[in-house]
Amino acid sequence: MKNAFVTGLILGILSGTWLFIMRSFGYNSTGNHVSPVEYLSLLIPFCGVYFGVKRYRDDDKQGEIGFFDALFQSFRILLIGGLFACLAGIVYINYFDMASNLFAFSGRLFGGLVIGILICLGVSAALMNKSSKLN
């Protein structure tokens, strides 16, 4: 659990920082239009989950991990990272971008959830190296 917390914390801090960096460059979360540079934010959860599960596999599992174990670990990482990113989003909306629409921002959070689930599935399939039978 320590690995998931540390990796999730780093993931959440980087995701929260991304909001403020984008704001400093003049991008905001109003409306449904997503600028192309915002798609770079997908690298944050992908790298965080990939390196977190890889570290978990190599350090805690002695190099052997099954699909469901990797999937469970990646969900833990994203859950912790998502909590910290949501807290940063609340601070961002309430204090820095008050003109932002909460509905549009929550839609982006839901989109991030869907993308996060796809990232978890992909990373788990890529890093698994132990076949397991479902009995």
The string of DSSP letters for 31-61 reads: SS---GGGGGGGHHHHHHHHHHHHHIIIIIS
Number of domains in the chain: 1
Q: Which two tokens stand for residue 49?
A: 């989950």
pLDDT in tens, 58-106: 998 888 898 999 999 999 999 999 899 888 888 877 777 665 666 667 7
In this structure, is residue 123 part of a structural domain?
yes
Reported as a single tens digit per residue, the pLDDT across 32-51 is 666 777 778 888 999 999 99
What per-residue confidence (pLDDT) applies to 118? 94
Any domain includes 134: no
In a domain, 73, yes or no: yes
Domain that holds residue 96: 2-26+36-127
